[in-house]
Structure 1
Amino acid sequence: MPIHFDDRTARFEGACTVEEAIPLAEWLCAAEKPRLDLGGCTSLHTALLQVLLAAGKPIAVPPQGAFLRDWVMPALGDAHPA
């Protein structure tokens, strides 16, 4: 799985695909004070972007790749430690 979930943190790694959208949405609803770590994410399916936008949770660790960092993070409100 490209997204690894624990009690408080979802770690995105590699190419994160559409199959992760429902598990991410369910985890965001269930997790108390969720922490999102996109540091290892190399690509993000638009379904996941929509889930993140709808959730409105801060991104604790921004992605390193230029496209995600420069184009996607501004839409998510930049990185703010959770």
Structure 2
Amino acid sequence: MSVRLDGDAIRLDGPARVEDAEPLLALLHEGPGRTVDLDGAGPLHAAVVQVLLALRPPVRGTPADPFDARWLLPLLGPGS
């Protein structure tokens, strides 16, 4: 599993698969305002991207996957 809680941040490590979308959603609902750390993440499955786009949590870090870093990170909001 690539989704884990690290203090007040949710870390996505390595490939984020479709089955990671539900735990990500649960962690974001349990702790509104939690930051999602994308350092080392990627590629991100479309389901994970949809959760991030729908809930718009604060995002930090740069995904390891070049496509995600170039095209998806700017969609996730200011400061990404």
Same fold (TM over 0.5): yes
Map of 1:62 onto structure 2: 62
TM-score, normalised with respect to structure 2: 0.87
CA distance in 2 between partners of 1:64 and 1:24 (Å): 18
TM-score, normalised with respect to structure 1: 0.85
Q: Match for 1:77: what amino acid?
A: G
Deviations 1:19-63 (A, max 9, x none): 011111111011142011000112100000000001111212221
Map of 2:5 onto structure 1: 5
Q: In angstroms, what is the RMSD of aligned CA positions?
A: 1.6
Q: How many residue pairs are counted as aligned between the two chains?
A: 80
Structure 1 regions of 5+ residues with no counterpart? none
Would you tell me which structure has more strand in proportion to its own residues?
1
Percentage of matched positions with identical amino acids: 35
